[in-house]
Amino acid sequence: MVEDNKADVFLIRESIETASLNAAIYVAQDGARAIKFLEDADHDPAAPCPDLVILDINLPRKPGREVLRYMRVTRRCARVPVLVVTSSDSQKDRDDMARLGVSGYFRKPSDYDDFMKLGSLVKDVLGGAA
């Protein structure tokens, strides 16, 4: 998960648990840390490559768009599904993310119950196999 907002990290974790997904979750709190994680995965076969990346667009140090561009040219993680979870409802952001091959786009709702729907979207993107 690439997310800088601690409250959103909590809600995303909660939605994954609510969907009964058993997942080891690594959190990169900014775009630069996410790129470092991907670099490590590319250069060290023992380093983990994620099964799914949950990505915010608006991040400190490097925006989500740059993280995704970098990820798409890595050797090991280029084909990993990406689920954008963001407060942006901009059509330009949606179009940009679609061009970069995201598997889904979830706008962060203000309602708790609506946020918990993210868990079933994660399950769908993973093919129900987590």
Name the residue ranges covered by the structural domains of the chain.
6-125
pLDDT score of 89: 87
**pLDDT one-digit tens code per residue, 47-72:** 999 999 999 999 999 999 999 999 99
Q: DSSP letter for 28, please.
A: B
pLDDT score of 12: 96
What Cα–Cα distance (Å) separates residue 45 from each residue in 28, 39, 73, 75, 96?
Answer: 20, 11, 17, 11, 31
Kindly state the helix (H) or strand (E) to which residue 83 belongs, with its residue range: strand 82-86
pLDDT score of 128: 53
What Cα–Cα distance (Å) separates residue 66 from each residue in 11, 14, 40, 103, 123?
Answer: 24, 27, 17, 17, 25
**pLDDT one-digit tens code per residue, 71-118:** 999 999 999 999 999 998 899 999 999 999 999 999 999 999 999 999
pLDDT score of 130: 46
Cα–Cα distance, 129 to 82 (Å, whole number): 16
CATH of 6-125, one of 3.40.50.620, 3.40.50.2300, 2.40.37.10, 3.40.50.10300: 3.40.50.2300
Helices (H), 79-126: 91-99, 112-116, 118-125
pLDDT score of 127: 85
pLDDT score of 62: 95
